[in-house]
Amino acid sequence: MPAVIENDVIKYKGSNYFRQRLLLSTLSGRAIKIEDIRSTNDDPGLREYEVSLIRLLDKVTNGTRVELSETGTSVYYQPGILIGGQVNHNCCTQRGIGYYLEVLLALGPFCKEPLNAVLQGVTHSDLDVSVDKIKTAALPVLLKFILVDDGLDLKIVRRGAPPLGGGEVVFKCPVKRHLRPLQWTKWGLVKRIRGIVYALRVSPTMANRVVEAAKGVMLNFLPDVYINTDQCRGSNAGKSPGFGVSLVAETDEKTFYCAEAKSVEGGKGEITLPEDIGQECAQKLLDEIYRGGTVDSAFQWLLALWMALGQKDVSECIVGPLSDYTISFLQHLKEFFGVMFKLEVQRTDIDDEASDDEDETSVAQKIKMTCVGIGYVNISKRTL
pLDDT in tens, 290-347: 999 999 999 999 999 999 999 999 999 999 999 999 999 999 999 999 999 999 998 7
CATH architecture of the region 190-291: 2-Layer Sandwich (3.30)
Return the domain boundaries, the chain: 1-46+64-79, 83-176, 190-291, 297-384
pTM metric for this prediction: 0.92
CA distance 140 to 133: 11
Confirm if 333 and 308 have CB atoms less than 8 A apart: yes
Asked if CATH classification 3.65.10.20 holds for the domain at 83-176, the reply, yes or no, is yes
Report the alpha-carbon distance of residue 62 to residue 344 in Å, rounded: 40
Give residue 355's pLDDT.
44
Rg, C-alpha atoms of the chain: 21
C-alpha to C-alpha distances, 151 to 180, 182, 303, nearest whole angstrom = 18, 21, 20
Q: What is the pLDDT of residue 97?
A: 97
Element (H, E) at 54: helix 48-60
Cβ(350)–Cβ(219) below 8 Å: no
> What would the DSSP string read from start to end of 316-361?
EEEESSPPHHHHHHHHHHHHHH----EEEEEP-HHHHHS-TTS-GG
Angle, CA of 150, 156 and 160, to the nearest 5° = 155
The Cβ of residue 85 has, within 10 Å, a number of other Cβ atoms equal to: 14
Distance of alpha carbon 23 from alpha carbon 302, whole angstroms: 11
Classify residue 311 as exposed, middle or buried by CB count within 10 Å of its CB (0-12, 13-18, 19+).
middle
Q: Are the CB atoms for 20 and 332 separated by under 8 Å?
A: yes
Given a contact cutoff of 8 angstroms between Cβ atoms, the answer to whether 256 and 293 are in contact is no
130 pLDDT higher than 70: yes
Q: How far is residue 26's CA from residue 138's CA, in Å, rounded to a whole number?
A: 21
Q: What is the pLDDT of residues 218-274, one digit of tens each?
A: 999 999 999 999 988 888 888 899 999 999 999 999 999 999 999 987 655 566 899
Q: Is 90 exceeded by the pLDDT of residue 157? A: yes
Q: Are 199 and 232 in contact (CB under 8 A)?
A: yes
Asked if residue 163 has a cis previous peptide bond (ω within 30° of 0), the answer is yes
Read off the amino acid at residue 289: I
Span 26-53, average pLDDT: 93
At residue 384, the pLDDT reads 47
